[in-house]
Structures are given as C-alpha cells and as structure tokens.
Structure 1
Amino acid sequence: MAGQFDKQAETYLQARPTYPGEWYSMLAARTSHHSLAWDVGTGNGQAALGVAEHYEQVIATDISEAQLSFAMPHPRVRYVHTPESMSEDEMVALMGGENRVDLITVAIAVHWFDLPKFYKLAKRLLRKPGGILAVWTYNNMIVSPEFNTISKRLHEKSLPFWHANTKYAFDGYRSLPFPFESVGLGHEGEPLQLDIPKELLFEGYLKFLKSSSGFASAKEQGVDLLSEEVIKELESSWGGPNKVRTVTYKAFMLAGTVTE
C-alpha cells in the first residue's frame, strides 16, 4: 500500500469518519490486560486515539510519513514510521518482544497488507492468552435513496481504477482470510456489521471521494470522475452545499484471538 494515500493525506484527515467509542469499549472488555496496544496502518491516528482511552500505551505505526505528519497527538500514543524494509524481528523489538501486545487494531487498512506475513507477526506479538486482533472497514455511505442511486453509478465508473486488494473492502471483509478464533465480534466469512453515523456537509462528501485511492488513481491517469456536471448532480441530490445530512457508513469488523 506504500504511497497509496500520501498525496491526499491532509484531505484524508479532513474527510474520514472517526469510529464510535463503544467499539473500543467492547474490544477492551475482551482483552485480559490493558498495557499495550498496536494500531497498524494508523494513518492520521483516528483509531489510535480511541484505543488510547483504554490502554496505557499505544504504538501507532504507518509506512507513510505523509500520513503520520498529520497525526493527532495524544500523551499515550507513540507514532512510529515503519518502512517496508523493516524486518519482522525489528517489528517485534519495537513492541518490546513477543507476547506483549494486548490489542492490535487495523482500521480500513488490513486489505492492503501482505496477509500471511502480517498474521504471522500478529501471532508472535499478541499476548497469550487474552490478546486480540481487530480489523474493520467500511464500504458504503447511506445518504438517501436518490443520492445513493447516483453515487452507486459513480462508484461503478470508478471500478477500473481501484487496486485489486480493495475487493476485500468492497465485500465487507466476507472473503478476507482471518485465521483467528472468534471473540464474539465476527469471524472469518461472517464479519460483524456495524454503523458509523456522521453529520456531513456536501463538501465533506466530496473530500471523502477525493481521498479514496480509486478516485485519486483515476485522476493520476487523466480521468476526471468528478466532472463539474457530476458534482452538480450530486450536490442537487444532496440538498445543496449548505445542507447538513446525517449519513451512515456501513462498517464490518473481524476480531479474534490466538489459540496455542
């Protein structure tokens, strides 16, 4: 995923939703200790801040220095740039050794990873027993029937520009390999379905689209999916530029633990 979100890092920070506090509470309730958490692919730190409310220390890592440059500070969060060249043993050393991490979170990112490599590392790092890996994504925004008909048509036009890995996100992680024992928050093949409510102006919706890798890729290839005509149609269906809408992101979570 290196470089996928570097150019739109600031837009990503402005446009993306935060995750409900109860998500972190339900994860924390399932870990046996609350000393150390690792937020992988942290981006701007949206998930790291929520995790930090329940754990003494959060190490938040990303391969993108551009994303980390917009990370939001927190006294219990340590942001670390982890380039692709870092070895598995170096990552273990960064976390202080094996079997030390109580919670690993990956928000809207695990589908970009080398999954066998990441899962092997996660199993080394997670506390046994009691450590949990939780991954989640969202793949749709519900606004209104009319608006969603238009946005669906736009999404279909964008499909050729998305990376192949996004198939996991598009199907709500139903096809994502996840070799961990369920803790009651989804399991391989059947993720837990969740909602993320957010109040949004039309400008926020546009920033959301522009921060998506498929739309950014199309623009780099000289294809403007967001022409003036398309934007006007979307804005009219939204209800105008000053209309605040309560939208719902449809989210999906998988959480599991390691069995020895």
Structure 2
Amino acid sequence: MAELFVEQAKQYAETRPSYPQELFEFIASKTPSRDLVWDVGTGSGQAARSLAGIYKNVIGTDTSLKQLEFAPKLPNVRYQQTPPVMSMGELEQTVSTQSSVDLVTIAQAMHWFDLPSFYQQVKWVLKKPHGVIAAWCYTIPEVNDSVDSVFNPFYSIDSDPYWEPQRKLVDNKYMSIDFPFEPVEGTDNTGPFKFVTEKMMDLDEYFTYIRSWSAYQTAKAKGVELLRDDVIESFKRAWNEDGHGQKVVKFPVHLKIGKVGNV
C-alpha cells in the first residue's frame, strides 16, 4: 500500500486537509489520561501535529519513509518507519509496552490494514479498560453545486476503475468496517460520528489534491490521464462562474471511536 503514496508524497503533504479541532477535542474528552498516543499510518503527520498539542507524547508510525520526511518536527512527537506487519516484540520495541498507551489514532488509513492482526496489537498496547481507539476517514470534497456537479461523475465514473477495493470502506464512511470495541462514555455506539474540516483552495490546489490520489497515480502508471483537457475545462467553467479564485472546500470527516474494555 505505501508505494501508492510515494510518488506524490509532497503533494499529499501540501494538499490533504488537516482535521477539525473539534474532532480532537471530542476524542481527548474520552481519554481519562493524556500521556501517550500511537498515531498509526501517520503519513505526513496531519493528525500528529494536532495530537501533540493535547497529549504529552505522540508516536507516529508509517510504512513510508518518504511520507515521514514531510511530517512536522515537534519536540513531543517521535516518528518511526515500521514494516507493514509487526510482531508483538517489534511493537513493544518500536511503539510501547503492554497496556501503556492512552489512545490509538488512525487518520484516513485503517481501510488499508490487516484488521484482525492490527486489532490484536491495539488491544495489547492500550491501557485497560479505558484506552481509546479512534479511526476516521474523510469522504469526497464539497465546494458548491456547480463544482460538485463536475466532480461527482469524475470521481464515481472516471476515477472509479483505478481505486483499490478498500476505498469502498471510505465511501461507506467506515459504517461497514469491523470495529470490535465498546462505546466510549457518553455514547451508545461506536459511530461513525460526523465532523467537517475546511480548506481554502484555488483551482490549481484542487487539481493538486486530485493528483495526490492513489487512483490518479494508478491511472497514470497505466497511461491514463484522469485530468484530461476537457475535464480541466469543465472544472474551470464551474470554478470561475462566480469570479472568485479561492473557495472553501469542505471535507466531511467520519469518526469511529471505542474503548478497549477489559479484554
């Protein structure tokens, strides 16, 4: 999976949205202590940056060294490249000891994981019974009716053959993903709970975001240019009809959250 994001690592770091502060405040309100977070699949550190402002220490792991090169360097964040699969011994050596982590986070990455193996590690490393796992994804961007009317068929028809099958879990807002954890205090289920993050973009930045897709890179490797001239022109007409260069692009964020309990 990691190789899908190597070529566009810089684009990914520059154009992927950060996540709303409300998301992190909600998660933090469910963790009784705030000593240590394991941010799995940290990529270029979008989530790690925000977590570092709330928790004492953050360990961000990723299989892609190229992605980690673009992550923000912060005094209480340690980044570590890891293999796709770790033994419990490697987990203890690389991340932390058994029952020592307050929170495990996975931002826009859990659909790539071998979930049965990963969940065993999560349950081993989290503090019991109140250690929390929080996984979220964001779905397709929303600009306005004009731009979205061009984007939606482009996403659902043009790009669809080039997405990995796991992408369907994201399109389904993680509703169908296996999540064997208990609801956290104050909730009666594990979600998904919806948040929204916003990013100001001009059209070039919007195109750079599209070019950061794994599907875009897969299509390109097969000799297919998704952003054909006619597609670009359609986006330009939709984008510029109101005369504004930058627009607010909204990304719906869908959170699954649960606690480990006494397992």
**TM-score, scaled to structure 1:** 0.95
Q: CA separation of 1:111/1:22 partners in 2, compared to 1, >3 Å: closer, same or farther? A: same
The one-letter amino acid paired with 1:31 is T
8 A contact 2:96–2:125 mirrored in 1 = no
TM-score, length basis structure 2: 0.94
C-alpha deviation, 1:84, in angstroms? 2.4
Could you list the runs of 5+ residues in structure 2 that have no partner in the other structure? Answer: none
Identity %: 37
Match of 2:261 in 1: 259
CA–CA distance in structure 2, aligned partners of residues 53 and 186 of structure 1: 28
Aligned twin of 1:84: 84
- In structure 2, what is the equivalent of residue 162 of structure 1? 163
For the pair 1:126 / 2:126, whether they are aligned, the reply is: yes
**Following superposition of structure 1 onto structure 2, how do residues 29-68 of structure 1 map, counting pairs within 5 Å?**
29-68=29-68
Counting only pairs closer than 5 Å after superposition, residues 51-200 of structure 1 correspond to structure 2 as: 51-84=51-84, 86-155=86-155, 156-183=157-184, 184=186, 187=189, 190-200=191-201
Q: Report how far residue 71 of structure 1 moved.
A: 1.1
Contact 1:178–1:187 (CA<8 Å) still a contact in 2?
no
Cα distance, 1:5–1:40 mapped onto 2, change above 3 Å? same
- Give me the whole-angstrom Cα distance separating, in 2, the residues matched to 1:186 and 1:146: 38
Tell whether the 8 Å contact from 1:142 to 1:247 is kept in structure 2 after alignment: yes
Which shows bigger deviation, 233-242 or 54-63?
Answer: 233-242
SS of equivalent residue, structure 1 residue 50: helix
CA distance in 2, matches of 1:251, 1:34: 23
Do the aligned residues in 2 keep the contact of 1:142 with 1:249 (CA within 8 Å)? Answer: yes
Matched, 1:210 2:211: yes
- Checking the alignment, whether the CA contact within 8 Å between 1:8 and 1:211 is kept in structure 2 is yes
1:18 has 2:18 as partner: yes
1:15 maps to amino acid? T
Gaps of 5+ in 1: none
Is the partner of 2:194 in helix, strand or coil? strand
Tell me the CA shift for residue 224 of structure 1: 0.7
Q: Who is 1:247 aligned against?
A: 249
Summarize deviations over 1:174-197 as a string: whole Å, max 9, x none: 111111111256845x41111112
What displacement does 1:130 show?
Answer: 1.9
1:34 and 1:71 map into 2 onto residues whose CA distance is 22
Q: Paired residues, what number?
A: 259
Are the structure 2 counterparts of residues 15 and 186 from structure 1 closer, same or farther at C-alpha, using a change threshold of 3 Å? farther
Could you tell me how far 1:160 is from its partner in structure 2? Answer: 0.8
Partner of residue 228, structure 1:
229
CA–CA distance in 1 between the matches of 2:103 and 2:150?
39
Over the residues paired in the alignment, what is the CA RMSD in angstroms?
1.6
Is the 8 Å Cα contact of residues 140 and 251 (structure 2) preserved in structure 1?
A: yes
Instruction: Report Cα offsets for 1:66-99 as digits up to 9, x if no partner.
Output: 1011111111000101022532321123233110
Q: Which amino acid aligns with 1:76?
A: N
Amino acid at match of 1:251: V
Q: Distance in 2 between matches of 1:247 and 1:167?
A: 22
Q: How far has the Cα of 1:23 moved from its partner?
A: 1.5
